[in-house]
Amino acid sequence: MHEISATAREILQVYSANCAGNTGLIDAGAASSGEYLNYFRGRTQIWSLAPDCPVALRDIEVLEDFSACMAVKNIFSIEIILQGNSEVHLGNHCLHNDGMPRIYLTSHGPSSIKKRVHRVGDKYRSIGIWLSPRFFLETFGVDVDNLPEDIRSVLINPDSGVLTLPLTATIKQTADDIFKMPYEGIRAEQYLKAKFTELLCLIAELASTSATKTAGDIALPRHKSRTLKRLMEALEQSHFLSLSLGEIAEELGLCQSTLSGIFKESYGLKLSEYFLQRRMELARKLLRERKLSVLEVALEVGYNNQSSFGRAYRQYYNCTPNQDRHSTD
């Protein structure tokens, strides 16, 4: 498999070296040696929102297996997956390609390496943004103290991992607008500033607001919006995570397939995947608090025995519950 590598700073250097004033997006392939252009077809473009804040747009089809490694030290990244995806390795965490639209929030510590594995035939469309947590928090008025615990951890703790958020209709529309780019030159520059600022405002709002309020962002019939709100309220309460999705659906007076359909229609994300994420996040929190045994943690997040929990945990985090419990020693 071919392999290429870069750093977030090198992306900025490439942009600076090839940017002659107000040019808007530039082609990443034309601005580099271009060897990796043989591995895919489509567009890869870069831009800079602010000093030390590069962004990248990718709309490609992979022609040859290759991997891309990036050193992303002491930085916070946002990736908006609009279509498809590729397999991503972040330290011990592997994000598998299942093609679902989503948003990844990721914290990168002093020795963080992000490896993206591209397979022949993969098609994907995404936007990546790299920025400092301080820039995101201060520029977009995010109050750390009022954030949900999992999002706060990703923003303030280096190497705290990756978090998946639903892709709302408004964020998707704004991202699509960026790809359409109707302007050139100085107007392109101003358009990108406005759209990326809007995009980060929406993500800051999504991160800051409880999940129960994001339903208002989605054009759903009123009865579906109410159902979605009740579902998200349930998933914010830890005791619901010990139930199965079927039991939660029964609590809400619906069948599981209807509930899953409403969630998919709203967020473009599988309910089972989001439910697993919520379970694993709670499990990691409980393990690291060290107040409960591994079996007790397993029962708290809906597993009937320690072995099935251990298998699920290892598949999700690429380590055993006991290894994770002692990782902060």
DSSP string across 104-124: EEEEE-TT-EEEEEE-TT-EE
- Is the per-residue pLDDT at 40 higher than 50? yes
Supply the CATH classification number for the domain 274-325.
1.10.10.60
Tell me the C-alpha distance between 85 and 126, whole Å: 8
CA torsion through residues 313, 317, 320, 321, sign: negative
Listed in sequence order, the residues at least 6 apart from 289 whose beta carbon sits closer than 8 Å to its beta carbon are none
Distance (Å) of CA 150 to CA 53, 194, 223, 242: 23, 29, 29, 18
Which residue ranges does the chain devote to CATH 2.60.120.10?
2-209
- Structure token pair of residue 78: 């946002």
What pLDDT sits at residue 207? 81
**Could you tell me if 212 and 236 are in contact, meaning their C-beta atoms sit under 8 angstroms apart?**
yes
- Is the per-residue pLDDT at 140 higher than 80? yes
- Give the DSSP letter of residue 159: T
Q: Which pLDDT band, with edges at 50, 70 and 90, does 196 fall under?
A: very high
Per-residue pLDDT tens digits for 17-33: 555 455 567 676 554 45
Report the pLDDT averaged over residues 156-163: 74
The better pLDDT of the pair 36, 161 is held by 161
Mean pLDDT check: name the lowest of 92-101, 239-248, 251-260, 283-292: 92-101
Report the pLDDT averaged over residues 318-324: 89
- Edge-to-edge strands of the sheet including 123-131? 26-27, 40-50, 53-62, 123-131, 75-83, 102-108, 161-165
Q: What angle do CA 161, 309, 88 make, to 5 degrees?
A: 30
- Edge-to-edge strands of the sheet including 113-118? 2-7, 66-71, 113-118, 87-90, 93-95
The better pLDDT of the pair 63, 207 is held by 63
Report the pLDDT averaged over residues 75-88: 85
- Is the per-residue pLDDT at 6 higher than 80? no
What pLDDT sits at residue 11? 56
**Could you tell me if 2 and 39 are in contact, meaning their C-beta atoms sit under 8 angstroms apart?**
yes
pLDDT, mean over the chain: 80
Domain 2-209 homologous superfamily, CATH = Jelly Rolls (2.60.120.10)
What pLDDT sits at residue 328? 60
* Cα pseudo-dihedral 103, 107, 112, 116, rounded to 10: 0
Q: What angle do CA 141, 146, 147 make, to 5 degrees?
A: 85
- Is the per-residue pLDDT at 34 higher than 60? no
Closest CA to 278 of 316, 322, 235, 231: 235
Which residue ranges does the chain devote to CATH 1.10.10.60?
274-325
State the helix-helix crossing angle for 271-289 and 149-156, rounded to 10 degrees: 70
Per-residue pLDDT tens digits for 206-250: 887 644 444 434 444 566 767 777 887 787 777 888 999 999 999
% the chain with pLDDT above 90:
24
Closest CA to 203 of 127, 301, 264: 127
Report the pLDDT averaged over residues 281-299: 91
The better pLDDT of the pair 306, 166 is held by 306
- Structure token pair of residue 177: 């607008």
What pLDDT sits at residue 322? 92
Tell me the C-alpha distance between 7 and 73, whole Å: 9
- Is the per-residue pLDDT at 84 higher than 90? no
What pLDDT sits at residue 57? 92
Q: Which residue has the tokens 């359909």?
A: 261
